[in-house]
Amino acid sequence: MKPIFALVFLAFAASFTLAQDRASETEEPMILGAEEIDLDDILWLKRALVVFADTPADPRYVEQMGYLTERLDALAARDVVIVTDTDPAARSELRQKLRPRGFALVLIGKDGVIYLRKPTPWQVREITRSIDKLPMRQQELRDGRAGGS
């Protein structure tokens, strides 16, 4: 009996892992570099949460990315894509447009409007509360669309 149970368990585990691998291949990445994204491509589809720092070693950047990666599910439910820019010398289009000074956290709505600018790291709970107050998010909730897309 035990060998059969072990065999069934292994088959289930293997199929679950395979399903997860396939799902992760088809999903869009949630964290992108500033050079990998054009905000015009996500206009009306996604909200952008842009995290700027002068170096990836900036303690505020490390803290913010820790907060975000712990709760990616809450951000995904709100159609958020995270954009990082830690190279001021590259002068990315986002950096030129938003002009951060050192560390900055910027929330850009689906409509392309900047709704939030913060010079310090924020917990995902605070970010999602701000998103949930946006008019477009309120409309999504009224329409019964969890993420809106």
The structural domains of the chain, with segments of one domain joined by +, span: 28-143
Is 104 in contact with 117 (CB distance < 8 Å)? yes
pLDDT of 147 > 80? The answer is no
- The helix/strand/coil state of 25 is helix
Question: What pLDDT is recorded for position 144?
Answer: 86
Question: What pLDDT is recorded for position 145?
Answer: 72
pLDDT of 6 > 50? The answer is no
Q: What angle (nearest 5°) sits at the alpha carbon of residue 85, between those of residues 58 and 49?
A: 100
- Using the Cα atoms of residue 95, residue 129, residue 123 and residue 24 in order, give the sign of their dihedral: negative
Per-residue model confidence as pLDDT tens digits over 56-115: 999 999 999 999 999 999 999 999 999 999 999 999 999 999 999 999 999 999 999 999
pTM of the shown model: 0.79
Per-residue model confidence as pLDDT tens digits over 123-136: 999 999 999 999 99
- Out of 3.30.260.10, 3.30.450.40, 3.40.30.10, 3.40.50.300, select the CATH number for domain 28-143: 3.40.30.10
Is 105 in contact with 121 (CB distance < 8 Å)? yes
Per-residue model confidence as pLDDT tens digits over 9-60: 444 444 444 444 444 444 678 999 999 999 999 999 999 999 999 999 999 9
